[in-house]
């Protein structure tokens, strides 16, 4: 049996990942491709517990290294428990954030080191890499306006402010210049225009 396609979505908070993932999941199901949709951090019983520690606004004493290792721990769990078994069963896996988030947020914006994060990503995934990654690139101002429109309270990471989000955006663009699997998508356009690009890239691979 062919292995399933592993697709990840990345970008700063509020760039439009969930919106595009919903459209792609519906499209793949329509064309008869079974798919599993998961999110990071979380997606497993253990991962959701780690997620609540990571995003809890009360945890403002968390050390940057603890933060990094908790994201990687949640990742190791979801790769073992959900992602690898699904791919091996021929199921397409769509992940809302994966290890490029750690590269951009912890490696670059938190300045913990790009090479260190690449090494830890490799340990957490036992070498499993996405087949294609869509980086929804948007200005920090536009993403902030979209988040306000969504009307949800900010979590611990979202409270870090616009300089941090700017560093994250630059971190993602740096990842895209290193790894060919990352497709940079101009996310300032309409939902339909963005989805048109994503659908075309996926159709090429099906
Ligand atoms: P993320 O999952 O990356 O945080 P969302 O998909 O939740 O982002 O989008 C954030 C907000 O912006 C939502 O209210 C959503 O409806 C809106 N939105 C998403 N894509 C677009 C777009 N292309 N243009 C305008 N608004 C958008
Ligand atoms: P989430 O609500 O899933 O993201 P979004 O706001 O895009 O819907 O929140 C996850 C937060 O954790 C988000 O701010 C990005 C951050 N994060 C990291 O800092 N490192 C990581 O490795 C991952 C996966 C997420």
Which residues lie closer than 8 Å to 134 by C-beta, 6 or more apart? Answer: 7, 8, 9, 10, 20, 183, 185, 198, 201
Cα(139) to centroid(ligand 1), Å: 13
Distances (CA, A) of 129 to 22, 83, 122, 181, 197: 22, 11, 9, 9, 22
Cα(19) to centroid(ligand 1), Å: 6
CA-nearest residue for atom 16, ligand 2, is: 157
Question: What is the per-residue pLDDT for 1?
Answer: 76
Reduced to 3 DSSP states, what percent helix, strand and coil does the chain have, rounded to the nearest 5? 60, 15, 30
Three-class SS state of 34: coil
CA-nearest residue for atom 9, ligand 1, is: 16
What is the rounded CA–CA span in Å between residue 202 and residue 204?
Answer: 5
Which residues lie closer than 8 Å to 19 by C-beta, 6 or more apart? Answer: 191
CA-nearest residue for atom 12, ligand 1, is: 146
The residue ranges of the chain whose pLDDT is under 70 are none
pTM above 0.95, yes or no: yes
Question: What is the per-residue pLDDT for 65?
Answer: 98
Name the nearest CA neighbour of 21 among 35, 2, 33. Answer: 35
Burial class (CB in 10 A: 0-12, 13-18, 19+), 115: exposed
Give residue-wise pLDDT tens across range 178-189. Answer: 999 999 999 999
Which ligand is closest in space to the CA of residue 194?
A: 1
What is the rounded CA–CA span in Å between residue 174 and residue 155?
Answer: 25
Name the nearest CA neighbour of 12 among 133, 198, 190, 141. Answer: 141
Estimate to the nearest angstrom the gap between the alpha carbon of 11 and the chain centroid: 7
Which DSSP letter does residue 154 get? P
* CATH number corresponding to 6-203: 3.40.50.300
Question: What is the per-residue pLDDT for 150?
Answer: 87
Give residue-wise pLDDT tens across range 86-115. Answer: 999 999 999 999 999 999 999 999 999 999
Is residue 177 within 8 A of residue 188, CB to CB? The reply is no
Question: What is the per-residue pLDDT for 151?
Answer: 87
Domain coordinates of the chain in residue numbers?
Answer: 6-203
């Amino acid at each position: 049996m062919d292995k399933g396609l592993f697709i990840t979505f990345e970008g700063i908070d509020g760039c439009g990942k969930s919106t595009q993932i919903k459209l792609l999941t519906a499209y793949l199901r329509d064309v008869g491709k079974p798919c599993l949709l998961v999110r990071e951090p979380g997606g497993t019983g253990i991962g959701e517990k780690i997620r609540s520690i990571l995003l809890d606004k009360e945890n403002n004493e968390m050390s940057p290294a603890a933060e990094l290792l908790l994201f990687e721990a949640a990742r190791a769990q979801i790769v073992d428990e959900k992602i690898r078994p699904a791919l091996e069963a021929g199921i397409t896996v769509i992940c809302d954030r994966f290890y490029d988030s750690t590269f951009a947020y912890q490696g670059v914006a938190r300045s913990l080191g790009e090479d260190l994060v690449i090494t830890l990503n490799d340990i957490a995934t036992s070498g499993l890499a996405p087949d294609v990654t869509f980086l929804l690139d948007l200005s920090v101002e536009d993403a902030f306006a979209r988040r306000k429109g969504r009307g949800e309270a900010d979590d611990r990471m979202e409270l870090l402010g616009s300089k941090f989000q700017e560093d994250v955006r630059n971190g993602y663009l740096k990842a895209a210049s290193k790894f060919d699997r990352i497709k940079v998508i101009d996310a300032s356009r309409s939902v339909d225009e963005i989805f048109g690009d994503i659908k075309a890239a996926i159709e090429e691979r099906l």
